[in-house]
Each structure stands twice: as C-alpha cells, then as structure tokens.
A and B are shown apart, each in its own frame.
Chain A
Amino acid sequence: MSNNLSHAELLKRPGNRIGFGTIATFVIAALFFVSLFAIGFTPERMLEVPGGVAEVLSFFWPADMAYGWERVLPAIIESIQIAWIGTIIAAILSLPLALFGARTLFPRLARVVKLISATARAFPEILLAIYFVPIVGLGAFAGALAIGISSVGMLTKLGAEVVDSLDFGTVEAVEAAGGSRILALRWAVLPAVLPEIIAHWLFRFELNIRASAVLGVVGAGGVGGVLLNTLRYRHFDKAAAVLILTILVVLAIDTVSGEIRRKIIRG
C-alpha cells in the first residue's frame, strides 16, 4: 500500500473540485435570474414590497371580530364539513383501490390502479371544482366532490404502499389453512394495514381543510370566498378576522388530529 500522500494533499478539502453540485447551483441561479427578469421582478419592484405589505398590515388591526363570529365562523364550519365529506368519499373509494393497487397482492391489476391514482393526483382540487360547480350547482357540495375525487389518488397510492410493505407470513398462513384470497384480505391484510391507512386518512383530512378553505374562490363554498370578497372591497379589518379564525381553527384541528394519528400508529 502506498502511503506517500503529502500532508497538504491529505488536508485538502474534498469539496473543492467542480462537480455536479457546482453545475447544479449555477444552472439554478441562472434559471432564477431569468425568471426574475421574465416576470418583471426588478429591484425597484422589490423595494416596493415591504411598503405594500406594511400598508395592508396596518389596516388589519383592530380585526372586526363581530363580523368574524357572525359571518366567518359559519364559512369555516362549512369548509370543515366540505373537507369531512370529501375525506369520507375518498376513504370509501380508496380502500378497495389501495388493496387492488398493491403489487404484492395483485401484480397485474396494480398497474392499472396506479395509473388511475396518478391521473387523479395530477388534478388540483380547485380545477376539479371548476367542473363540478356547473354540474351540481354553486356551493359546498361541488367542493366536497372535488376534494373527494382528488384525494382518492393520494390515498390509494399511500394505502397501496402500506399494503406492499406488509409481511406476507399471515397471508400465506390463511391460504395454507384453506382460506381464499378474499378471506386472506379480510383476516390477514386488513387488520395489519388499517391503523396506518386510517392515519393517512386523518392526515389527508388535515390537508383537505386547507384545500376546502380555498375552494370558495371558484364558488364552491367555504371560507375562501369570504376572504376574496373582503380583500376585494378592501375591508381589511374583516379580512383579518378571516385570517385569525382560520389560523385558530386549523391549528386546533391539526393538533387534535395529529394526536389521534400518533395514538393510532402506536396502537
């Protein structure tokens, strides 16, 4: 073994050659400056930003909480209801899809299911809502359908991954004892994967609350429409009430749901 590296060479820092990282940094920096230029985000424009933000913020206080309790809270409750129904729809549809989408259980079917779930995931909820609003009418129900359909994709994917990571000893035991594939699903797969899948449902519910909050922008119910209107008419004290109540409610739901998720996973 040759050991004639000099001290200086040994101490050389490993990161000093032009590698992938350096090139990537330059490419990203170049793209970034091109983007800034393209959307007209000039230095003068940047200097205006703090002033504009400060001006709007200064009108936020005091928040019009009377409006908050009277008008905003019902809209937030509607957002929660939209998210809940959407999550229930997605949970019911995605459970069988997740089982059929597991590579280990149904190798051929899984590919079709994965394709369906990838397509469903590609649609942002709000684009789906644009179609559902004229179909089922303006309002919360269109929002719930949009949320439900777009959640199916992600829940199917996550659920199928949970099933895929399952230890197959119990499935084989059921089949060895003469049980069918369906019986194996019921007694070996479902009890093992359900806690984790339910945790994913809860997590998706947390995400759906945020998603349903913005659906009002296209007329699909919830608190988003209220915020859009208060800002449009520059009623900043009312907009502040929307923000405060949304933050409080979402924080509360996140905390409770996160706690339940942790309990379920621990068993």
Chain B
Amino acid sequence: MTMPARPQRNWPLWIGVIAFLVAMTVWSAYGIGFSLVEILCNIAGGTRLLEESWPPDFGFLPRLAEPMLETVFIAIIGTVVGGILAIPMAVLAARNLSPDKFTWFADRNFMNILRTLPDLFWAMLFATAVGFGPVAGALALTVFTVAVISKLWSESLESIDMGLPEAIRAVGGNWFQMIQFGAIPQAMQHYVSYALYAFELNIRASVVLGLVGAGGIGMILETQRANFEYERVTMIILAVLVAVLVIEEISESIRKRLT
C-alpha cells in the first residue's frame, strides 16, 4: 500500500510569519513597558484599591437613576437619527444599486473614513463644537451609527436578488421606485436587526461618552474616579453592567423573534 504524500509545508512562509509575530510582540511589549517587576511592585497599591472599591456604595444608587436614563436617551437619539441617515448612505454604497460608479466610490470611502475614528473621538469633537453635555453625545453616536449600519447593510443590499429591482426598471419604474419597492423590502429584516445591534453598541458607547464630557452616566463616573471614590466607581460600574445586560437581553429577544 502506498501512503498518500504528506502535505508539504511552505517553510519559508511559516518561518517568516512566526518571526514577524515574535518580533512584533517583543517590540510592542518593550514599547508599552511590559514588565513583571513593575506589576509586582504595584500589586500592593492594587490590592489596597481593590479593598477600597469593595463593598460598593449602595447609598449612591439613587443618584444614578437620572444619568442612567440620560444615557439611554442619548443612545435612542443616536440610533434613530443615525439609522435613518444610514439608509441612503447604505443604498449609495451598494455596488449593485448605486446610480453611478463615482457616487458609489465616494460614498463607500467616505464611510470607511468615518469608521476609522472611534466613538469617543467623535464625542470629543462634538463636545468641543457644541459644548459639553448630552447633545454632543447624541451627535457623536449619530455619526457612529451611520458608519456601523451603512457598512453592514450595504453588504446585505449587495447580496439581494436583482431580479425584482430589474423588473421594476423594466416596467418603467424610476430609480427611487426601484430602491423603495425592489431593493429595500428584500433587506428590511437585516436592517432591523442591524439597527438593534447598533442600539446595543450605542448603549455601551453612551456609558463611556461622559468620560470626555458628552453626557450620560460616564460624567458621574469621571468625577468619582478623579476623586478616587472607588466604592462609588464600583457601584456605577455594577449598575451599568446590569442595565447593559438587561437592554441587550431585550434587544436580542426582539432580534430573534424577527429572524
């Protein structure tokens, strides 16, 4: 019996890849000052912090209700406005639906650039432009939501069955009618589930917006952190975790029912 040939490895490629990974890791570790000595020296301070941060200050809980609600409001505004704006952006970024190559190219790359900046960068920019507070947070999440939904949904739109839109064009429908009746209904379920996903992301994001002064529960977190009131920080983080998990559970059950 002859054995089948052993699969040959491309050794030069393997060695190259592994050398790159190791070099990158060593360089990064050196760059960020990864040192066990430092951890061991600091561990005493760390345990003191952990002792201070437990038990959480439950007396602080009532004061969290209002900012937590504000956090949810910011996320709702960001998701609704961003979700609506994302519809045209996604249609124009879908290769099969975009009216011409130039629009497609411009929109797609504009969205790619929007997506490179993290949500907190937008929050910092809007907080500078329109002043500290929840309005800046809502605007930041709007931009972030447009970027997230338009990216995901334009991919769904690219995978629809083009027979229906073509039929509408063939019987004399214009471009808008083709999009409205031929394309969007096919991808509507994806849109709803992406919008809910964006809402979940926004709830998480809106929690930390306050760290840069853009409203919500993060603003309280920032003041308590700056004053080293760690038993209150723990309380805030616990409250945030519970709220995030509950909202995600609701959102996920809606998403499951829709699909």
Among B129, B133, B205, B221: residue with most chain A CB under 10 A: B129
Query: A120 to chain B: closest CB distance in Å?
Result: 11
Contacts A85-B25, A126-B211, A136-B39; A247 near B34 (Cβ below 8 A) = no
Residues of chain B lying within 8 A (CB to CB) of residue A38: 69-70, 73
Q: Is the CB of B125 within 8 A of A231?
A: yes
Q: Which residues in chain A, 229-253, are within 8 Å of chain B measured between CB atoms?
A: 231, 234, 243, 246-247, 250-251
Q: Is the CB of A32 within 8 A of B124?
A: no
Q: Which residues in chain B, 67-125, are within 8 Å of chain A measured between CB atoms?
A: 69-70, 72-74, 76-77, 80, 112-113, 116-121, 124-125
Contacts A81-B32, A140-B31, A214-B118; A35 near B76 (Cβ below 8 A) = yes
The yes or no answer to A210 lying at the interface (CB within 8 A) is yes
Q: Is the CB of B130 within 8 A of A48?
A: yes
Q: Is the CB of A123 within 8 A of B34?
A: no
Q: How many A-B residue pairs have CB under 8 A?
A: 165
The yes or no answer to B233 lying at the interface (CB within 8 A) is yes
Chain B residue, CB-CB nearest to A144? B32
Contacts A38-B69, A140-B31, A211-B118; A135 near B42 (Cβ below 8 A) = yes
The yes or no answer to B139 lying at the interface (CB within 8 A) is yes
Residues of chain A lying within 8 A (CB to CB) of residue B255: none
CA distance in complex: A118, B205 (Å):
17
Q: Is the CB of B73 within 8 A of A251?
A: no
The yes or no answer to B128 lying at the interface (CB within 8 A) is yes
For the residues of A in contact with B, the DSSP-based class is: helix
Query: B182 to chain A: closest CB distance in Å?
Result: 15
The yes or no answer to A109 lying at the interface (CB within 8 A) is no
C-beta contact mask, B218-257 vs A, less than 8 Å → 1, else 0? Answer: 0001000100001001000100110011000000000000
Chain B residue, CB-CB nearest to A142? B32
Q: Is the CB of B77 within 8 A of A227?
A: no
The yes or no answer to B212 lying at the interface (CB within 8 A) is yes
Q: Is the CB of A137 within 8 A of B130?
A: no
Q: Is the CB of A213 within 8 A of B121?
A: yes
Query: B67 to chain A: closest CB distance in Å?
Result: 11
Residues of chain A lying within 8 A (CB to CB) of residue B45: 134-135
Residues of chain A lying within 8 A (CB to CB) of residue B31: 77-78, 81, 140
Q: Which residues in chain A, 18-63, are within 8 Å of chain B measured between CB atoms?
A: 28, 31-32, 34-36, 38-41, 45, 48-49, 52-53, 55-56
Residues of chain A lying within 8 A (CB to CB) of residue B208: 124, 126-127, 214
Among A48, A221, A228: residue with most chain B CB under 10 A: A228
The yes or no answer to B64 lying at the interface (CB within 8 A) is no
The yes or no answer to A218 lying at the interface (CB within 8 A) is yes
The yes or no answer to B19 lying at the interface (CB within 8 A) is no
Residues of chain A lying within 8 A (CB to CB) of residue B72: 35
Q: Is the CB of A250 within 8 A of B73?
A: no
Residues of chain A lying within 8 A (CB to CB) of residue B127: 231
C-beta contact mask, B16-32 vs A, less than 8 Å → 1, else 0? Answer: 00000000110111011
Query: A131 to chain B: closest CB distance in Å?
Result: 8
CA distance in complex: A141, B121 (Å):
21
Q: Is the CB of A28 within 8 A of B38?
A: no
Q: Is the CB of A224 within 8 A of B25?
A: no
Query: B33 to chain A: closest CB distance in Å?
Result: 6
Q: A49-B135, A210-B117 are in contact. List 13 more A-B contacts (CB 8 A).
A: A32-B80, A78-B31, A122-B241, A126-B211, A135-B45, A140-B33, A143-B32, A214-B121, A227-B121, A231-B127, A231-B128, A250-B116, A251-B112
A-B contacts, 27 listed (Cβ < 8 Å): A32-B80, A35-B76, A39-B134, A41-B134, A49-B139, A56-B128, A84-B28, A85-B32, A124-B204, A126-B211, A127-B240, A131-B53, A134-B230, A135-B49, A139-B32, A141-B33, A141-B34, A143-B32, A144-B32, A214-B208, A217-B120, A217-B212, A218-B225, A227-B121, A228-B124, A251-B116, A254-B112
Nearest first, the 7 A-B pairs at minimum CB distance are A135-B46, A140-B32, A81-B28, A35-B73, A39-B134, A250-B116, A214-B120
